[in-house]
Amino acid sequence: MNDVRTVYLDHAATTPMVPAAVEAMTAHLADVGNASSLHASGRRARRVVEESRETIAQALGCRPGEVVFTSGGTEADNLAVKGLYWSRRAVDPVRRRILASSVEHHAVLDPLDWLAEHEDAGLELLPVDDQGRLVPDALAASIAHDPGSVALVSVMWANNEVGTIQPIGDVVAIAAEHGVPVHTDAVQAIGAVPVDFAASGVDAMTISGHKVGGPLGVGALVVRREIELTALVHGGGQERDVRSGTLDVPAVAGFAAAVEVAVKEQADHAARLAVLQHRLVDAVRRAVPDAVLNGASTGSADERLPGNVHFSFPGCEGDSLLMLLDARGIECSTGSACSAGVPQPSHVLLAMGRDADAARSSLRFSLGHTTTEADIDAVAAALGPCVERARAARA
């Protein structure tokens, strides 16, 4: 019998549903009715969807009509970058350049690569500093080189691997000088830092349910009404005719409840996580003195997400260390991808100037609403022996 206590520190991947989201979702699981149907059951379903849309809009500082429901963050990112690119090029074929930070999530990078390969896009990945923050001057120089050819800019609000918060205000200001629309993937930011869509000035913003304590399989692209998007999915014309498909009413209700709670409790949640974050950083440095903290300083709330702790462990393979910790009930993640069974270094750390060994030796501990001091102490107790074993295995 396995009596190992599980310590879940992978909230950036998926965080447990909050009670309000579970309650809102389960309240509608047995309901019948398609939100596009005109009869009474359909109208009841539609009412749930529209009330959920209003809840999300109020929480995020946007208009209800700007919330386009999707199946999650990946679909929303694809709709944003492909939809913007296609619509902009349809009006002006010269606009084929897409500018993005070199540390974007693969849900942005992969569709951008696809557009470059199949749709004649000119993709330019912009440099970041050694903390993973976009260099605004590089963006300004790239746009100024030929502003009439830029279709869009995509820069994430906060990095999913190292937690660095990006200078979205600078990005918007630079792009606005040339009338270039800005998309931001804010999946990691909602509930962790203040996010106001209208005040930010961005034109499109991706959010996801399971990152904020809502259900899996639902998200949204918040996009200004005046922005034209070419649809990825065609069918019934739902969601402003840019995202056809029958909506998952229970999931939408749970998603809205989670967003509302996350935004309402953001300040208290961030303050609590910051305390735990510092406790974990100190514990890691005591257990493994040569461990290297990646990303922005953990002491600045406007530079790094409060629940993110990302370390490189010299002499270790991150995947091996992850599995050793997992055997002791501690669940975290590594930023490296796996291709054909071969570990690949994190593109984020490589962009930050780390070498391949450092990029492969890293782990991300991400904290959330269920994280406790006991979880941090469990990591402190297990990490030293696990690093020793990982180093011995590699040697």
Rg, the chain, Cα only: 21
Clarify whether 332 is annotated catalytic: no
Q: Sort residue 290 into left (φ over 0), alpha (ψ -120 to 50) or beta.
A: alpha
Write the single-letter amino acid at 196: D
* CA nearest to 384, candidates 285, 295, 260: 285
- Measured over the CA atoms of residue 46, residue 51, residue 54 and residue 60, the dihedral's sign is negative
Q: What tokens does 325 get?
A: 């910790």
Q: Are 99 and 112 in contact (CB under 8 A)?
A: no
Percentages (nearest 5) of helix, strand, coil residues in the chain? 45, 15, 40
Which helix or strand (DSSP H or E) is residue 343 part of? strand 342-344
Question: How many residues in the chain?
Answer: 395
Distances (CA, A) of 331 to 251, 257, 320: 26, 27, 13
Phi and psi torsions of 260, nearest 5°: -60, -45
Catalytic residue among 62, 316, 338, 386: 338
Query: What is the rounded CA–CA span in Å between residue 27 and residue 379?
Result: 37
Q: What tokens does 211 get?
A: 């990152």
Query: DSSP readout, 243-260?
Result: S-S---HHHHHHHHHHHH
Starting at the edge strand found earlier in the chain, the sheet holding 97-101 runs 67-70, 219-223, 204-208, 182-185, 150-154, 97-101, 122-126
Angle at 381 between CA 377 and CA 384, to 5 degrees: 135
Q: What are the catalytic residues?
A: 338
